[in-house]
Every structure is written in C-alpha cells, then in structure tokens.
Amino acid sequence: MNSFSKYVIGFAGVVTVLIYGQSILVPLIFALLLWFTIRVFTTVSQKFPIYGKWVPNKLKTIITTTFIFSILYFFTQLILSSFNSIIDSHHDYNDNINGLINLINNKFEIDLQSYIETHRCSKIIYYCVFKIYI
C-alpha cells in the first residue's frame, strides 16, 4: 500500500469519526472552551491585590464560573428576545405580503398561490409563504 492510499484511508476515517461523533464532539469542545475561559478568568483575578490574596482559590473559581454563566445567560436572553420580537411582529407584515401577492397576480395576470401549489419543488416555499402568514 503506497503513501497516498494511506492518506486517503486516514482522511476517510477522520471524516467518518467526525460525522458519527458529532453529537459527542460538539459538547466536548464547548465544555473545553468554557473550562479554558474559566481558568483564564481565574488566573486574571489572581492579579487583583486584595482579591488575589484573601479569597481562596475554590471561591475564586466559583465566582468566576458564576460570572461567566451570568454573561452567557444575559446574551442568550438578548438573542431570544430578538427572536421573539421578530416572531411577534411577523403578523404586522401579513397585509404587506398579501398586497404583494395581489400585485403580482394583477400585474402578471397569474395566480401565484396556485402556481406555487402545482410545482412540486416549491412546496417548502408554499408552506413558508402561505401557511405561516394566512
């Protein structure tokens, strides 16, 4: 077996492991990043004069972990709030979308809804446009 075939087999093995191990690897990598961040923040907190000398290391780790999880919680809530406001405001655009559909129907003398219904590949578009907004 030559060197090239070994690389191809190795590459295929790595890709296979990454595909099938994705459900394990993604949380593991996230946990490693979180652990590294906590260690860095704990090490930086050692440099504060009073905090570094008088607070025990376990308590520093607990405080740092609480701080990082608070930041993650804040940004998660911020993103979820943005998504919720988008979801809540989609009804405001219902009249505009219906007006655009009617404009297209009148301008090109077609029935856009029946056109999308008759084309098999456009079932997803039909569902997204008409089932959500009507």
Question: What secondary structure letter does DSSP report for 119?
Answer: -
Range of the domain at 23: 3-89
Confirm if 61 and 44 have CB atoms less than 8 A apart: no
Proportion of the chain above pLDDT 90, given as a percent: 35
Cβ atoms < 10 Å from Cβ of 61: 15
- Do residues 69 and 34 both lie within one domain? yes
- Do residues 43 and 13 both lie within one domain? yes
How many domains is the chain built from?
A: 2
List pLDDT tens digits, range 44-73. Answer: 888 888 887 888 889 999 999 999 999 999
pTM listed for this prediction: 0.56
